[in-house]
Each structure stands twice: as C-alpha cells, then as structure tokens.
Amino acid sequence: MADVIKPGDAKEVEDAVRWALGNQKVLEVAGQGSKRAIGRPSQTDITLDLTALSGVMLYEPAELVLSAKAGTPLSEIEALLDQNNQQLEFEPMDYGPLFGREAGQGTLGGVIAANLSGPRRIKAGAARDHFLGVSAVTGRGEIIKSGGRVVKNVTGYDLCKLLAGSWGTLAAMTEITVKVLPKAETVATVIVGGLDDARAAQAMAAAMGSACEVSGAAHLPDHVASCFDSLPNSEATTALRLEGFGSSVKHRTEALIALMKPFGQVALLDEKNSRALWRDVREVKPFAAESARTRPLWRISTAPGKGYEIAAAITPAAQMFYDWAGGLLWAAMPFADEPDAASVRGAVRSLGGHSTLVRAPAAVRAAVDVFEPEQAALAALSKRVKEGFDPKGVLNPGRMWAGV
C-alpha cells in the first residue's frame, strides 16, 4: 500500500519533491484520483495528494478570470461560476463514469493536467486554450510561475500550454488561473436521423461550414443511439448543437434545419433534451454502462473528414461514436484483453491524428503504448523537455511513455 503525503501549501509541495529527490523516491501526483486509471501503470513510492490545496483565490466575473488552488474540486468551481451565469467554456468532460466512479468528481488541477474538453471543443477550444496562468513545483523541487491573469499575454514561453495535458509528469501544479465566459442564454439541437457514418461526416462538415456557429456536432450510430435517453428513437442520429441568445438561436435553428433537409429526416430537440444529450455525449455514456466497462476504450483525435475512415479500419465488432464533427472517435473494443492496437494505430498513422488507450486492464496498458508513440526525433525532444523539468524522474515517471 503506497503512502500518501498531503501537503497543505505550495511550500510543502516543494518540500515533498525535494525529499523525494534526496531519497530517490518516486511520487504519484494526484488530486482526487478520478483519472488514476488512465496512462501507463507505473511504480511509485508515495502519493502526493494535492487535495488540501483547495479554494478559489480570485474570481472577478467582469474580468472573466478565476484563480484557484489546484486541488479545488471542479464541482465547487462550476457551482460558483453558475451563480454568476458563467462557465468554463471548454466544457470539461468527466472520465469518472467510464471507470465506474460517480460523475462530478475531479479537481481543477486534474482538468488541466489532462487537458480536458467536451463537445464544445470545436468552437471554444480545450482546457489549454483557457489556461492563463500557473504556479507549480517542478521535478527539480522548485516553485515556478508562468502566464498571468490576463487573457492576452505573450511574455515568455507559454509553459501553461506545456503543463496542460502533461499528466503531472513535469510539475505538480499548485495554483491555476483560467478564463471564464458567460453561459449561453439558450440551447437547441437539430438532429438528423438515419445517416451512415460517411454521410454523417458530410452533414457535419456542411453544418460546421455554415454560419450557424454550431457548438457541438456528434454522430451516434444506431448501435449506440439507444443509450441516449434524450433521443426520440434509436436510429442513427447526427446531432448539432446551437447556443447563444434566443433571437440568434431561433434564426440559426431555422437556417440549419433548411441546410440539413437534403441529408435526411430532421427534428429539433428542446432545451431540456439538448442539455441531457450533450451531457451524455460529454460523459461518453454508451461506454460508461456497467456492461460496457470491461471493453478497452480508445479515444482517437483526427481530421473531422477522416474519422469515419479510421472507424472503417477498426474491427466491425467495436462500438463507436463520433464527437467534434467527426474528428473525435470513441471506440470500445469487444474483448477485455484485446485492444487491437495494431489496427487502431495503423489507421491513425496512415490517416493522421493520435490515439489514446483510455481504458484497459493494467496488464494491457503495460504492454501497449497508452499514448500515441511519437516519431523518433519528436520522442527524443519530449524526453529532453521532461528532463529539463524533472531530471530524476520523480513526478509520475512513465505515465505517458516509458522513460519520460
């Protein structure tokens, strides 16, 4: 059973890392541990639990900015923003249910470290795009800061971007500043029924290529459509979300319905069903059900026009659906111990993009690259970047790749 250190402030995080350096110990950097099962399984001596670093330090709605300690629960931040009719516009997805945990867990630090985003990624960007400033303790046991509290800043290298999505392998973040934005006044969803994957990709491209400002575009093939309670039936559904001021959503809904008519049967989901549908898409609901949880799960990011081609190269026994206008493919493989990495990675190599084996038994994740393997020169560069921040490999070593 691994020990846990629970520092109460940044200085104690620094002390903990220095202690690890001095004693050849390896730390598991964690918040609430809601994404602990993602990544390569690796041996660590002690868990650096950052949940005691909690609390919003600054929130100025008129300045669209919020700073909080890294271990602050995401739910607390979202509730606070909601009171002011604001939100994290990147709509962070929730990995919890995919691993049989309750929804709504996780910390702000975890959101950033995993660079989470949701269906609105196509319009609003990911966590990285809203991450303005950071304080962190590097694997050298030093407190560093980067960025600031303003949205427009090019002073120095953008280390925030580097830390976003680094899964705690470079530094343990202690304070985080993010951009926040107003919530949309209303939401509606135009759905098109009965399209095959290729045709759905065309429909989504047409919608995204219109002036309708689509803020979510998903295709839910018939084998997963029944998992979404908010849909009127269980046939394949292509869903397009519109958000904004009422007058504008009404106008754009009419325009989008006209644009989608040639593709198939068009219907409209009201605000309530829209919110339910996009929450289910964000939480990858079809593969969070208990019966689906033994299936290895791939998350594949590719060009929106290539998603269905990658899907076609994967075994037909896999269950899949598309977010990000076809550019994000969730693929659940049929057998627990067979992620079929060769066909997934082969398709990604030839069609472009990257794939992550989000869920699989530890033994499988130890044997198969969880994150997309990088070309040799790029892999060497990534390793040098890691060594700059964490030369002794005391922070989550090996979680992304062996030796990094």
Partner 1 sequence: MSLKMPEVDSAVLARRDRIVAALRTIVSGEGVIATEREMKPFESDGLTAYRQPPMVVVLPETTEQVAQVLHYCHDEGIKVVPRGAGTSLSGGALPLADGVLLGMAKFNRIREIDFESRVAVVEPGVTNLAVSNAVADAGFYYAPDPSSQIACTIGGNVAENSGGVHCLKYGMTTNNVLGCEIVLMTGEMIRIGGKHLDAGGYDLLGLINGSEGLLGVITEITVRILKKPETARAMLIGFPTSEDAGACVSAIIAAGIIPGGMEMMDKPAIHAVEEFVHAGYPLDVEALLIVEVDGPLAEANDLIERIEIIAAKCNALSCRASTSEQQRLLFWAGRKAAFPAAGRISPDYYCVDPTIPRGKLPFVLKRIREMSEKYGLRCANVFHAGDGNLHPLILYDANRPGELEKTEEFGAEIMKLCVEVGGVLTGEHGAGVEKRDLMPLMFSEIDLAAQQRVKCAFDAKGLLNPGKLFPTLHRCAELGRLHISGGKLPFPDIPRF
Give the footprint of partner 1 on residues 263-292 (CB under 8 A): none
Under rule CB under 8 A, residue 391 binds partner 1: yes
CA distance 157 to 383: 18
Under rule CB under 8 A, residue 71 binds partner 1: no
Task: For the chain, give the number of residues.
Answer: 404
Under rule CB under 8 A, residue 120 binds partner 1: no
Give yes or no for a contact between 197 and 308, defined as CB atoms under 8 angstroms apart: yes
Under rule CB under 8 A, residue 392 binds partner 1: yes
The least CB distance from residue 320 to partner 1, in Å, is 16
Give CA 144 to chain center in angstroms. Answer: 25
Give yes or no for a contact between 338 and 309, defined as CB atoms under 8 angstroms apart: no
Q: Which residue in 37, 50, 159, 358 binds partner 1 (CB under 8 A)?
A: 159
Q: Which residue in 55, 57, 60, 315 binds partner 1 (CB under 8 A)?
A: 60
Q: Which is nearer to partner 1, 221 or 353 (CB)?
A: 353
Q: Which residue in 55, 100, 104, 182 binds partner 1 (CB under 8 A)?
A: 182
Q: Which residue in 102, 154, 316, 342 binds partner 1 (CB under 8 A)?
A: 154
Per DSSP, the residues of 90-136 read T-----GGGGTPPTT--BHHHHHHTT---TTHHHH--GGGGEEEEEE
Q: The tokens 């629970």 sit on which residue?
A: 6
Q: Which residue in 77, 81, 98, 126 binds partner 1 (CB under 8 A)?
A: 126
CA distance 306 to 349: 12
Q: What type of residue sits at position 289?
A: A
Q: Which residue in 304, 339, 397, 398 binds partner 1 (CB under 8 A)?
A: 304
Q: Which residue in 42, 234, 294, 356 binds partner 1 (CB under 8 A)?
A: 356
CA distance 323 to 327: 7
Residues 6+ apart with CB under 8 A from 81: 66, 87, 88, 180
The least CB distance from residue 383 to partner 1, in Å, is 9
Under rule CB under 8 A, residue 51 binds partner 1: no
CA distance 60 to 120: 23
Under rule CB under 8 A, residue 378 binds partner 1: yes
Q: What SS3 class is residue 75? A: helix
Q: Which residue in 91, 243, 283, 372 binds partner 1 (CB under 8 A)?
A: 372
Q: Which residue in 128, 219, 282, 399 binds partner 1 (CB under 8 A)?
A: 128
Which range binds partner 1 by CB under 8 A, 16-24, 232-240, 273-281, 339-347? 16-24
Under rule CB under 8 A, residue 142 binds partner 1: yes
CA distance 48 to 28: 6
Q: Which is nearer to partner 1, 273 or 282 (CB)?
A: 282
Q: Which is nearer to partner 1, 12 or 235 (CB)?
A: 12
Give CA 292 to chain center in angstroms. Answer: 20
